[in-house]
Amino acid sequence: MNKTKLIGAILLTLGITGTALAQNGFYAGASIGQATIDACDGVRNCDDEDTSWKVFGGWELNQNIAFEAAYVDFGEVSGSIDGSSVSAEVDGWSLAAKGMLPLNEQFGVFGKVGMIMWDVEGGGAASGFDDDGTDLMFGIGAQYMFTDQFGIVGEWEWFDMDDDVDLFSIGALIKF
């Protein structure tokens, strides 16, 4: 085989692969919501709710199965212990398998289960406190696609860290 045919075959293969990658189910998005962190034992004037946000991306293997990764900022828990102000900021990275049930061409529901690698950093009188771990997470939600590429997603997620964390969020989703 001469070089021209070999280069042509490689370019054809890359073209087919490139087209497949462009239509293979990759998606990304961002959400904002409210996190509730069940961490108020022994803390007075505890504020265990805060605005939370996340960015996520995934790959839809088919219309019923996807894999999703996300960075989640849960916000801050604050209060006082023995008159001293304390706080803790919580964030993490998650990886989940997602089962989807399309109800029509635009609307579907889903459930997901996976793991979160989380980190907590203390502030105020808890300054210097740093803890991390890897634990179970799961969630349920729904998405509505306005077009083939753009939609919204709403979901509830539960994270089994040292303290339970619930996250209700709504966001935008873009499919590639």
- What three-state secondary structure class fits 4? helix
Please tell me whether the overall predicted TM-score, pTM, comes out greater than 0.85 for this model.
Answer: no
CA–CA distance from 88 to each of 33, 78, 80, 159 (Å)? 18, 7, 11, 16
Given a cut of 50, is residue 22 above it in pLDDT? Answer: no
Q: How far apart are CA 156 and CA 33, in angstroms?
A: 10
pLDDT digits (tens, 9 = 90+) for 129-163: 888 999 999 999 999 999 999 999 999 999 998 77
Q: Which listed CATH number (2.40.160.20, 1.10.238.10, 3.40.50.880, 3.40.50.300) goes with 25-175?
A: 2.40.160.20
| Contact criterion met (CB below 8 Å) for 146 and 160 | no
- The pLDDT tens digits for 80-119 are 777 777 788 899 999 999 999 999 999 999 999 999 999 9
